[in-house]
Amino acid sequence: MRRWCLNGYGITLKSEWDVQADLQEGRLLSILDAFAPPPNALQIVYPAGAEQPRRVRALLDHLEKGLKNTC
């Protein structure tokens, strides 16, 4: 959808973190802000258990590190 909008085909609802650079560089414009849904928290669902698989822990650590500067 991001690429579709960058090519000028229309509008879409995207997470700001996904298009933040495009907005800052002027490649995309934020419109209809008065109708934007309220912010929501990022949620991750992973298998229950006492010990998380290493790949799940690595993903959570990566996301936490990457999102710290954006919140």
Render pLDDT for 44-66 as a digit per residue (tens, 0 to 9). 777 777 677 888 889 888 988 88
CA–CA distance, 8 with 57 (Å, rounded to integer): 38
User: What is the per-residue pLDDT across 5-52, written as a single tens digit (0 to 9) for each?
Assistant: 999 999 999 888 889 999 999 999 999 999 988 887 777 777 777 677
Beta-carbon contacts of 38 under 8 Å, excluding residues fewer than 6 positions away, are none
- Whole-number Å distance between alpha carbons of 4 and 57: 33
Q: Which of 38, 36, 31, 27 is nearest to 11 (CA)?
A: 31
Question: What is the pTM for the complete model shown?
Answer: 0.56
